[in-house]
Structure 1
Amino acid sequence: MDTELLLPDVADLVTEDDTPADNFASEKQQRLLTGSLYSSLPHKTFLAAANVGIYTTPSRPPIVSDVFLSLDVTVPEQWWEKQNRCYLLWQFDKPPDVVIEIVSNREGDELGGKFSRYEQMRVSYYVVFDPNHELGSEELRLFELRGRHYAEMTETWLEQVELGLRLWDGVFEGKQARWLRWCDAKGQLLLTGDERAELERQRAEQERQRAERLAARLRALGEDPDLER
């Protein structure tokens, strides 16, 4: 039997509605989280996205996560085709591994309806980042799926995806703030492309200065540093 005949009809799915209404802080935070994964993990297979709908069934409205990470899957080549425009669980054959919600007000229901939907979807890790303490005193809360239900975590290392999360006070795209960042097992940040380029620039400058100091010492000894030896 042709398995394609068993796939749900996606003709009527709303894969985008062109009515985004997010804020500057959330938009930058989302790009920081997705961008640093792609710049730091070029050899791993995964899909990270922001504000993309996740469908569990065609008959139920999608849930749109601020950020999600799904390992061992990639965006299909023909991504403009209807069935490839958003995250359909029956297409990818798995839920995302991590979902992150960024709280900007009390309307998002991050610890209510969304919590329940991600739990039912069997997302392994659910993260709620609440920089303005809209939902309580805790700025960062992490939940791990254990059995059928979420249990709150006391640490920020996500064992199943071999990544951690940490809060970082610093500058991203000219804005000083406290950001949520990915990190490795040692707590080292996963860098953005710009951060990696800046590190390379600093290394090159240090090497140039080292070469200039060496040349100056050779000249002081009466030797020409430009002569080939």
Structure 2
Amino acid sequence: MSKIDPPSGAKARKRVLTPDELVAIWNASFTLDDPRGALVRLLMITLQRRSEVAGMPWAELSKDRAVWRIDGERAKNEHDHLVPLSQLAMAELEAVGWKRRGLVLPSSTGKTPVSNFSDMKTALDKAVLAILQKKADEEAVAREEDPHVVTLTPWRLHDLRRTGTTNLQALGFPIEVTERVINHHQGGEASGIRGIYNLYEYYDEKVAALGAWAKHLQSLITGVPVASNVVHLADARG
């Protein structure tokens, strides 16, 4: 055994999607059957885990307060989590159609969450590649260059979270805010009064962060620049 090399640890994934890829994914999501397109868009907007978004019940959502409270029983770290819903998120939920009970994104049976992610991702990648190729062809014509074949670097739905948090830091939000946005906690399990406090800790900053991310995403999609994407933390605290 002394001559056997120890197994190497799992390599951390570092795939961050480019602005062009984000726009292509957003537009390609509209080619998917419902509710899979809405799933992709809500993943992009909220930056929450795939299982949490796919299994989202209407009971966790407050339309009046524009907030989504993820039950700790569904969260990976077992912490209840408040997700402020930006205008872009609210518009997506309005398009789905608000209800009082049941699942937001049900499967064809209506009783289980949307699934079959492998086939969905295959169809999504095909549509994304077609969009990127069309854009490259149009740019080649405009520049009077020869067209070239576009390739899509492999990516996973989870990379949307990393891309969003990376952009949040570029927009001026510190790591402790981005960690709270995606429900990452430091210092072990929180319970009792501390757990309740942690639920609301950084809430105003999360509102500002997800609002800024939604505006940035919308700016990429529409091509209309936002006046200023940089958020000053003192302003974010109100």
- Structure label with greater radius of gyration: 1
Q: Please indicate the TM-score interval, normalised by the length of the shorter structure.
A: under 0.3
Query: Which structure has the highest strand share of the two?
Result: 1
Query: Which structure has the highest helix share of the two?
Result: 2
* TM-score of the two chains, using structure 1 as the length reference: 0.24
Which has the higher relative contact order, 1 or 2, with Cα contacts under 8 A spaced 6 or more apart? Answer: 2
